[in-house]
Structure 1
Amino acid sequence: MLSSFLLSYREGLEAALVIGIILAYLIQINRKELSRFVYIGAVLGALINIIGGVIGFKEAKELEEASEEVFEGIMMLTASGLIAYFVVWIGNQSRNISQSIKEKVSKSTNSAGLMTLSFISVFREGLELAIFTMSNIGAKSTSVALGSMSGIVIAIATAVVIFKTAVKLNLKIVFKVFGIVLIFVGAEMFGEGLVKFFPSAEEPLETAGMLLFALPSFYVFLKSDLSKYLKKI
């Protein structure tokens, strides 16, 4: 349940912050009338993800035990790959994330463009969350659902509080914190995913897999911060 909560909170928070930045920027450029198209795109993205996620999780749960182990292993390795991609993406960001989003909005200041942008923003995060969820099909459905729903609800509430109180938030710092947490989650998923294919070498393979994932991930994720710190010494 904890891993489902953390992953859904991270994905939900990113989607909610992106939508919040889009809405705030529309107000800033006096195009508030386009906000409804942002909401429509976000709701459509969420609905498609929920329907697809429920169907996919249900079908995955009905697999035979041997097939379920292989499927869960594939999903775990895929999920850890997505986390690795997130780590590289954040690690290579040279600009403020909110500025990048605003530039995309500036290029999409029409109803269809904004609807598409918000749809893709929500759908992408939901798709990643669906893969994370299906990597945990061995757990109880109620536990996974409760962890995912609570994570999403708290993520949305967090984003609302941030924008309602006009907190000047550096999104890179937020994603750095969650990135460090997710590296540990991704390392565990990678190690457990390998074990699903080679159960005879369970403990040493899982440990090796976790180290193989975590060490380069931390290096890529923190190398710019470390180089800045070393220059100050």
Structure 2
Amino acid sequence: MAAWDALLSASFLAGASIGLRECMEAVLVVGLLISYLSKTNRHESVKLVWWGVAAGIALSIATVAVVFAVFDALSVDLELFEGVTMVFAAVILAGVLMHLVRHQGKSELESWANHSYGRYDTLGIAAVTALCVWREGAETVLFTMALGDVASGSLGVFVGIAAAAVLGWGLFSGMMRVDIRWVFRITNASLLLFGAYLMSTGFHELVEAGFLGLEETTTTEVARTALFFAYLVLIGYTAMKASEGSSRTSSPTA
């Protein structure tokens, strides 16, 4: 029963969304880069992409180790640490969403792959791939650390990563036909809700830690709720406008 409750928890669902969205972008970039190199008869460079993937994963694991080592070494109040981490993650997540809505189609990723090879060539491709995988891994670590239940959230992240790997394999093997934009829109919406949760809960943790000089009252609870909806409206509206602008820019003109 406890295991089932963990699977249905908010932390697990948020972790699954994080793992799916972050890993899916890395999978698509790597897959499109390999496809591009294969189609342009640059097969010798494909192995460099895989070296980059391995390096990115290693850097992500090292990031996890460093984050947990710092967390264990710090003697700060747990509520204060959680509050600061949550608010910081919410701000970073807002920036990530702005980036994602501008680069969520296959054509944009194919253009990136073409530009990357033309600009960096051979060994540089491994470095670019490593940085891409590491960036997604580092973001995943940050957002997972901000979850209330890290254990349940981490389980969700692994499930999301597995789902992204299966989707990526299906797409590039021709076994599945999925509109990537819809996958990204659904995960972006879930991440928007997660960001609003982080902002409001982070504020609550900071109040409990006495960091803001406030006490828990009805007023602070109202402020917490207001922060949740303000984040949803502000970031959601900005992301929607950015998405519309990106669609107009990428559409063919008469």
TM-score (structure 1 length as normaliser): 0.84
The gaps in structure 1 that reach 5 residues or longer are 229-233
Aligned-residue offset at 1:226: 7.1
Aligned-residue offset at 1:206: 2.1
Return the alpha-carbon distance in structure 2 between the equivalents of residues 29 and 166 of structure 1: 23
Return the alpha-carbon distance in structure 2 between the equivalents of residues 159 and 82 of structure 1: 26
The gaps in structure 2 that reach 5 residues or longer are 1-11, 209-215, 248-254
Q: Deviations over 1:66-125 (max 9, x none)?
A: 622122112211221222112222444598422332233332463211101100110110
Question: Is the CA contact 1:84–1:217 (under 8 Å) kept in the aligned structure 2?
Answer: yes
Return the alpha-carbon distance in structure 1 between the equivalents of residues 193 and 206 of structure 2: 21
Question: Is the CA contact 2:86–2:201 (under 8 Å) kept in the aligned structure 1?
Answer: yes
Aligned-residue offset at 1:40: 0.5
Equivalent residue number for residue 57 of structure 1: 68
SS at 1:69 equivalent: helix
Aligned-residue offset at 1:29: 0.8
- CA gap of 1:94–1:111, structure 2 versus 1, over 3 A, is closer
- CA gap of 1:77–1:152, structure 2 versus 1, over 3 A, is same
Equivalent residue number for residue 26 of structure 1: 37
Q: Deviations over 1:37-91 (max 9, x none)?
A: 0001111111111122134135425655x62212211221122122211222244
Question: Is the CA contact 1:44–1:119 (under 8 Å) kept in the aligned structure 2?
Answer: yes
Question: Is the CA contact 2:32–2:110 (under 8 Å) kept in the aligned structure 1?
Answer: no
Equivalent residue number for residue 172 of structure 2: 163
Equivalent residue number for residue 196 of structure 1: 205
Q: Over aligned residue pairs, what C-alpha RMSD do you find? A: 2.6
Equivalent residue number for residue 99 of structure 2: 89
Determine if the alignment matches structure 1 residue 115 to structure 2 residue 126.
yes
Instruction: State how 1:119-138 maps to structure 2 within 5 Å.
Output: 119-136=130-147, 138=148
Q: Residue type matched to 1:111 in 2? A: T
Determine if the alignment matches structure 1 residue 2 to structure 2 residue 20.
no
Determine if the alignment matches structure 1 residue 146 to structure 2 residue 164.
no
How many residues were matched structurally?
Answer: 225
Q: Deviations over 1:18-47 (max 9, x none)?
A: 111111111111112211100011111111
Question: Is the CA contact 2:104–2:181 (under 8 Å) kept in the aligned structure 1?
Answer: no
SS at 1:30 equivalent: coil
Aligned-residue offset at 1:167: 5.3
Identity of aligned residues (%): 24
Aligned-residue offset at 1:173: 3.6
Equivalent residue number for residue 210 of structure 1: 228
Aligned-residue offset at 1:174: 3.0
TM-score (structure 2 length as normaliser): 0.78
